[in-house]
Structure 1
Amino acid sequence: MDRFDRQLMDFVRSWAPYGGPPSDEVMLEFGMTREQLTERITLIVASEQARREQELHRPWLRMPSGRPAAVHDPTDARR
């Protein structure tokens, strides 16, 4: 999910308690109709679900955390 997708999701979440965003707010914020926003959100959710399913079934494809794993070196004299 890219930055724009996150902005869309945050926007929709913020309006969720009120029944969703009004059409004029959607147009003002993102330059799209409410129907276009709904289609885009549906696509984002579906792609995120597919990505998570893939991770569950193929954990070796997960992105590394960015922190190298600690490896014990038996030849290291410092203990």
Structure 2
Amino acid sequence: MDKYNLALVEFYRQWEPFGGPPASEILAEFGLSKNQFHARYRALTLNRKGPRVPGISTGSREQDTATMKYTFSPHALPWASEI
């Protein structure tokens, strides 16, 4: 993993206890939309057997029930269609 991707994973880990990073912070830090950021995070941390990086939340109920309470799903909120 290069420095950019490691920074992205660490950034998410820091914000995870607060429900994940806000879109404004993601844009300022990485120049990505919230959807782009989360897609890249998932690609970096998941593979077919589970997390690639130990101790990283995957956002998957099957693989990560310990941090599930911190996982944000925009699909669960009717007003979040533009997220």
TM-score with structure 2 setting the length:
0.55
Question: Does the residue aligned with 1:32 lie in a helix, a strand or coil?
Answer: coil
CA offsets per residue over residues 12-70 of structure 1, 9 Å max, x none?
Answer: 00000100000000000000011000000011012537xxxxxxxxxxxxxxxxxxxxx
Between structures 1 and 2, the one with greater strand share:
2
In structure 2, C-alpha distance between the alignment counterparts of 1:46 and 1:23, rounded to whole Å: 22
In structure 1, C-alpha distance between the alignment counterparts of 2:43 and 2:16, rounded to whole Å: 18
Aligned length: 49
Question: What RMSD in Å do the two structures reach over aligned CA positions?
Answer: 1.4
Larger-gyration structure (1/2): 1
AA partner of residue 6 (structure 2): R
Is residue 12 from structure 1 mapped to residue 12 from structure 2 by the alignment? yes
Is residue 27 from structure 1 mapped to residue 20 from structure 2 by the alignment? no
Q: Which residue of 2 aligns with 1:64?
A: none
In structure 2, C-alpha distance between the alignment counterparts of 1:3 and 1:46, rounded to whole Å: 18
Runs of 4+ in 1 over 6 A off after TM superposition: none
Written as runs of structure 1 = structure 2, the 5 A alignment for 1:1-79 is 1-46=1-46, 48=52
> Which sections of structure 2, spanning at least 5 residues, go unmatched?
54-83
TM-score with structure 1 setting the length:
0.57
Give the number of the structure with larger relative contact order, counting CA–CA contacts within 8 Å between residues 6 or more apart.
2
Identical-residue share of aligned pairs (%): 35
Report deviation, 1:2: 1.1
Between structures 1 and 2, the one with greater helix share:
1
> Which sections of structure 1, spanning at least 5 residues, go unmatched?
50-79
